[in-house]
Structure 1
Amino acid sequence: MRHSLVIGGAGGIGSAVCAALAETGGPVTVADRNGEAAAAVAQALTAKGHTARGVACDATSPTAVEALKAQAEDAYGPVDVLVTMAGVIRNDLLVKVKDEDFDLVLATHVKSTLNAMRIFLPAMRARGYGRVVTMSSLAGRGSVAGASYAAAKSAIEGLTRTAAIETAKYGVTVNCVAPALIDAGMFRTVPKEYQDKGVQAIPMRRPGEPREVAACVRFLASDDASYITGQIITVCGGLSLGPL
């Protein structure tokens, strides 16, 4: 059974990803900057008969990710499946973006992904097996007042492709999931009139559910996806097709 580790696992989508991976039968390490929230997600999984533990980790720190790796391996052995999805958002028009906001968004999304890759990939390569799934967004293509977020998500897609090229011959796959409007987290903080406007742009005429993103992650983490690497897979109800 595979040991899965999810960085950013305490959020709405993150907790759904943890649940989906737990259902495969292997242990799950739930890592999040909010240690209490990570512990709560792990406890909920344990209550359902799964094996899980929560760990506090600020993945923007390489030292913290090294410590996370040590704790995870001490508990459940080598990490087979790594999911990186730590995130934060700061919206403003490009010409008004503040340095501190840009730095925060880039560090939370990109540096955490880079740190996780640098620290976990060597062991996966050495063992000849690994599944890495990163998290982007359809908003990575650019949107009004989304400069920092788009820059971060575009960078993650570049890291994903690069890591895939560098690790493919070692039995490691690296892919990225890019959701659009998902009924969780940030989407729920948007005024309903804007939610409705966004949904009307989706061919399916509804937001996605966290479990639908999690199902894609679970597939990419499975042996059924063994010949898929370096791909950016959108989970968007057809929104990426453009106006219909």
Structure 2
Amino acid sequence: MKALTLDNIARSFGGLPAVDGVSLQAPPGRITGLIGPNGAGKTTVVNLITGLLKVGGGRILVGDDDMTEADAPTLARAGVARTFQNIRLIGDATVLDNVVAGFHRHEKAGTLANMLGLPSAHHERREFERKAHALLDRFGMTALARHPAGSLSYGHQRRIEMMRALAMEPSVLLLDEPVAGMNDAEAYSLADIFRDVARQGVAILLIEHNMRFVMSLCEHIYVLAFGRLIAEGTPDEVAGNPRVIEAYLGS
């Protein structure tokens, strides 16, 4: 089990700080929240953690490993998985194939074996499909396994992206607005799944605008505004913090 630790990370664009000295920890077995108004820098933080952007200062640790300079493939191999604010699926591929793609970091048969159709590749593919079907069952999407992912509703596509991230069997999972665009019933149907994933020892960092959803799931919440942390604490502590209220509602 590995914790995600951000130690005073920073990033500027054109001389303007987008993330300015952010420190937080997402321990294994817990869902940690990161919230803030639009433009606060939340997605920039996620892009720094996952290597899509280079850190301008500070450190990123996964467990005891310094991942500050790691690129996205290296972080994926280290067990860091994410969902995206804007859905990124292979629209023409089936739901099953999209989920199976998430197992790529566990592939052992190799490219040549797959090209030649060797038994090792067939065996591995069957095992990945078996695990993918278990995820589809968990998310209530077994009946849609053979449908093109791009033909499904927004809510279903969100679920596919989550399943693909879980297929990586991550130690750290970053959920970037996973229930955006969903109604309350759709959102809360995922809450028990996220709790179950955390109970398995995964460190989850949840970035989300649905405040009721965050407050119901997270034991500890960090609040970001203009690239800086302005508060942290339990849901009750954060909800009653004057700086948080001002950031969301104005002075």
Q: TM-score, normalised by structure 1?
A: 0.34
Higher share of residues assigned strand: 2
Structure with the bigger RCO (C-alpha within 8 Å, sep 6+) is: 2
Higher share of residues assigned helix: 1
